[in-house]
Structure 1
Amino acid sequence: MSTPRPVSPRQATIFPEIPKGDVISTYDSYHDAQLAVDALARANFPVANLAILGNDIRSVERVTGKLTYGRVALMGALSGAYLGLFFGLILYIFQPDNSGILGVFLAAVAIGAGFGMLFGVLSYAMNRNRRDFSSVMQLVATRYDVITEPQFVQDARQILIGDQPQGE
């Protein structure tokens, strides 16, 4: 039987936990929560004891545009060109004779762009009626709590109250 050992920082990231503590303040945007932590940092508060906790997480998909064959071909060509660029760099590194490498490099980029365009257009043609738009998916919280250990809550609140502009 083995004895349990303390969790190392590396293992802590493998098994994430929700931070524990008391709420100092609550904000409607992540940016406002960051500003509060910045204010605490400027006041020499021990910020290693803070956490910003997002609550009521929502999935937001922002539509960025309509897909067309031309747009899909361009996006496929660009991603394929990046793959070709990678392979061209690999060939450059491992080629014993570097004469004529520019031609090989350009050919790898062009072939990558061609295959990327081909696969992009074929994929779009097969899924044509299911998804005719491009989008970006984000996770957004409806509110953000700045939390800390109970012994630091009052000090943090005093610092944040003193940091507020006059008249609010």
Structure 2
Amino acid sequence: MTTAFSQTAFTRGQATPQLPTMPSGWPIGSYDSYEGAQRAVDHLADSKFPVEDVTIVGVEPMLVERVAGRLSWGRVLTSGALSGAWFGLFVGLLLSMFTAGAGFAPILIGLLSGVGFGMVFAAISYGATRGKRDFVSSSQLVARRYDVLSQPRNAEKGRELLAQLELHRPAF
């Protein structure tokens, strides 16, 4: 994964494709979880393998939505009140910092206004669904398997290193 603080392909003199492109390379390992593929690439890096030639590819992607619980008017209004309270508290604190001698009044007004507006906006949002989505969930993109690819010039060495990793892995 590349972040703003990590070394990118540009700093190595290579151009990273800006448009979606198919991955290239030969398969050197296949894993049932992303954690397994990540562990394999970490082992390659620890073994001084040129990991800039490596790509992790998620094969057969799926969108998985995990239902966390039932959504009710009480839960919606409570959530709206809490998020509104945080915003109102923030605004109230800002107002109290820039108003001389105001005391706690701006903080209290901001907090109460935030709770009220948060509840109103949450109620409007939930009411607009008309009961078509009465649950809370989170979505995740997962793959059936994760293949580790390497450029052909280093693929054989990568296979050897990953075979060594599997040999030294404790059996459960």
Scaled by the length of structure 2, the TM-score of the pair is 0.77
- Measure how far apart 1:48 and its partner are: 2.0
CA positional deviation for 1:144: 0.7
Aligned-pair CA distance for 1:158? 0.8
Q: Distance in 1 between matches of 2:139 and 2:106?
A: 38
User: How much does 1:135 deviate?
Assistant: 0.9
What corresponds to 2:88 in structure 1?
Answer: 84
Instruction: Using the TM superposition, give the Cα deviation of residue 117 of structure 1 relative to its aligned residue in structure 2, in angstroms.
Output: 1.4
User: Equivalent residue for 2:165?
Assistant: 163
Which whole-Å CA distance do the structure 1 matches of 2:153 and 2:19 have between them? 26
Aligned residues: 159
Q: Which moved more, 1:124-133 or 1:81-90?
A: 81-90
Q: Match for 1:49 among 32, 53, 68?
A: 53
SS at match of 1:138: strand
Distance in 2 of aligned mates of 1:21 and 1:71: 50
Q: Distance in 2 between matches of 1:166 and 1:138?
A: 29
Q: Which amino acid aligns with 2:80?
A: G
User: Which position in structure 2 is the counterpart of 1:3?
Assistant: none
**1:141 alignment partner AA:** A
RMSD after superposition: 2.8
Stretches of structure 1 that go unaligned for 5 or more consecutive residues are 1-6
Matches of 2:160 and 2:83 in 1, distance apart?
51
Q: Percent identity?
A: 42
Structure-2 separation of matches of 1:133 and 1:163: 43
Q: TM-score, normalised by structure 1?
A: 0.78
Change (3 A) 1:152 1:85: farther
